[in-house]
Amino acid sequence: MENSKEITIYDIARSLELHPSTVSKALSGDPAISKKTKKRILETAAEMGYRSNLFARNLRQQNSLTIGVIAYELNSSFTTPMLSGIETVANEAGYGIILTDSSRSSQKEAANAQNLFQRRVDGMIVVLAPETDSFEHFRPFIERRIPMIFLDTEAPFPESMSVMIDNFQCGLMVTRHLLGQGCRRIVHLTPDHQQSIYGQRYKGYREALEEQNIVFEDGLLVVAGGSEEASEKAAKKYFR
């Protein structure tokens, strides 16, 4: 039967007839251990199947070297490259990420936040679910002074940060472009024109219309769900 016992530094020390503290220092890269001894220890550790208990070590050092990420969907033209960038930069800094998907549900978002808090992440990056209207599930992070960054939305806490684009300019520029192409009846399709980021895009749209003295038509504002499927369904219904 295959031995499933976890190999420890004491097993390596007995095998090499060294003191456990010497093995521990070598495995942690302590320069006080000679290169020759360190090489012997690392080779033996690999042969015996030793696995470093990073969680226990980091717990003693009061950090986990992990960043929690909550996104409302993982497979989209917006989130996929963003998540790739987060992982690349985190890895370069020696951090791992724990990625969670709220599936556009504020309830699942809250459950993910609690799970990440229990895992003692060192920081949080959040893309809020469209339906989120309460931020209390993030308060434990704020109280513990765990850094939080909210993407594409205004930070709900003074202690947190936001990374956003200029949504007003986006709405303004895209509407100006269509007007420049000769369009005069331009539909504004949005998940919610009252919510912060969508509201700013809507204001940009209205501003562009006013610049050309075009009277806004209530029927040209179409409010649909935030998913691609919901937007496509709303557009087909409007234009059929």
Chain centre to alpha carbon of residue 185: 38
pTM for the model stands at 0.64
- Name the pLDDT band for 2 (thresholds 50, 70, 90): very low
Residue ranges of domains in the chain, CATH in brackets = 9-52 (1.10.260.40), 62-163 (3.40.50.2300), 167-239 (3.40.50.2300)
pLDDT at 40 over 60: yes
Weakest-pLDDT range from 58-67, 72-81, 206-215: 58-67
Average pLDDT over every residue of 60-74: 82
With both helix axes pointing from N to C terminus, report the angle between 196-211 and 167-180 in degrees, rounded to the nearest 10: 40
pLDDT at 60 over 70: no
* pLDDT value at residue 69: 95
pLDDT at 1 over 80: no
What is the per-residue burial (b if ≥16 Cβ within 10 Å, else e) of 130-149? bbbeebebbeebbeeebebb
User: 103: buried, middle or exposed (CB in 10 Å: 19+, 13-18, 0-12)?
Assistant: middle
* pLDDT value at residue 239: 63
Encoded tokens for 150: 């909210």
User: 208: buried, middle or exposed (CB in 10 Å: 19+, 13-18, 0-12)?
Assistant: buried
> What is the SS3 assignment for 144?
coil
